[in-house]
Amino acid sequence: MPIESRILVGRARWMFSGFDKPFMLIVSLLLCLGLLTLYSASMNIPGRVEDQIRNILLTLVLIWIIANIPPQTLIRFAVPAYSFGVALLIAVSLFGLTKKGAKRWLNVGIVIQPSEILKIATPLMLAWYYQRREGVTQWYDYLIGLVILAVPVWLIAKQPDLGTAILVLSTGLFVIYFAGLSFKLIIPLILALVIGIGSLIATEEKICKPDVQWILLHNYQKQRVCALLDPSLDPLGKGFHTIQAVIAIGSGGIFGKGWLKGTQAHLEFIPEKHTDFIFAVFSEEFGLAGGLVLLFLYLLLVARGLYIGANGPTLFSRLLAGALALSFFMYAFVNVSMVSGILPVVGVPLPFISYGGTALITLGIATGMIMSVARQKRLMQS
């Protein structure tokens, strides 16, 4: 082999050296399953699969670029990214675009959704803050962390976009918890949540009456919660999504009807079958067995991400990788629970499976950052 070729091969190997192969393998398997399911869900819509392949290729390039940026460089983007994202959220609240009653978009030459930026910028900012406070963390640092988190969550929830607000809130709380927040302080929140859910179930008949107004929630959000508690109240309206998704999942049985043979999806009974409700299409065609395999892949993805985070060389690396790994869990948990009728319908895609470029790019950035932590650790050991 000529010396020039050897140099090129050596440089290529270095660019990919340290990449965590198990983590990337799991992501690749999920992307392949996503394409298979999307093909079935979009048979009557030409070009959608091709668009998703383009999105996947762009995402893979993005993962590779970010994975080659060391964490000590990523930390420099924390404050600018967070500040820029919050500024865009404020701009959205002032003169954003309104679609279907929600003001979530901003026209800056192209239409963007700034809340997607905060899915990454918020944990990045919190990890930066606790890295600076390493070794001298006091009780008030956790309050400051909550304030840093509360600003984007409040602005996003105000749009309203409850699904994205939940994802940003949970990922930020993961960083704060990993930074040393005592679990004893979290137990009261869990108890309050359990009591609140129990109260909703017990008083469903009274609080779901049309003339009852809910504090802090919009009317459509109230309708979604009530449709979850009893979908039969509005089977052709707010309860339609949940009823049809549950029928599709149940009709799949143990081993499913087979790829391309899902009747609920192909007869257009499942709404948003290529995005938020794609798990219903997958479950109908691959059954309980396929669903368990998919959930196991997510479990492996989260476990591997947490392993990478636990072995990060710095506190910033550990907090960032750990929180982003658990954000994958929140994506999957919220989406599967929503489609299965356990949680209200919110706009959360199934990670690496649902169609959509914006969500896939956000997941790709998170994946690249986790790979960056893994790469730094391996390069330090080599």
Nearest of 68, 57, 61, 74 to residue 14 by alpha carbon: 68
Residue 341, CB half-sphere, CA atoms under 13 Å: how many? 19
For residues 204 and 299, what is the distance between their CA atoms, to the nearest angstrom?
Answer: 34
Work out the average pLDDT over 99-104.
79
For residues 103 and 99, what is the distance between their CA atoms, to the nearest angstrom?
Answer: 6
What pLDDT digit, counting tens, does each position of 281-294 carry?
A: 999 999 999 999 99
3-state secondary structure 269-332: CCCCCCCCCHHHHHHHHHHHHHHHHHHHHHHHHHHHHHHHHHCCCCHHHHHHHHHHHHHHHHHH
pTM of the complete model beyond 0.85:
yes
Rg over alpha carbons for the chain, rounded to the nearest Å, is 22
- Per the CB < 8 A criterion, the answer to whether 272 and 47 are in contact is no
What pLDDT digit, counting tens, does each position of 155-208 carry?
A: 999 888 888 999 999 999 999 999 988 877 778 878 887 887 777 777 777 777
DSSP, residue by residue, 193-240: HHHHHHHHHHTHHHHTSTTPPPTTS-HHHHHHHHHHH-GGGSTTTTTH
What pLDDT digit, counting tens, does each position of 193-221 carry?
A: 788 777 777 777 777 777 777 776 677 67
For residues 221 and 160, what is the distance between their CA atoms, to the nearest angstrom?
Answer: 9
Residue 6 has a pLDDT of: 59
What pLDDT digit, counting tens, does each position of 22-58 carry?
A: 999 999 999 999 999 999 998 878 889 999 999 999 9
Nearest of 340, 54, 358 to residue 349 by alpha carbon: 358
> What does the block give as tokens for 377?
């650790």
For residues 305 and 325, what is the distance between their CA atoms, to the nearest angstrom?
Answer: 5
Q: What angle do CA 184, 370, 283 make, to 5 degrees?
A: 80
Give the chain's count of helices (H) and strands (E).
16, 3
Nearest of 316, 313, 323, 262 to residue 287 by alpha carbon: 262
Cβ neighbours for 253, distance < 8 A, ≥ 6 positions apart? 287, 288
Residue where the block lists tokens 């309203």: 160
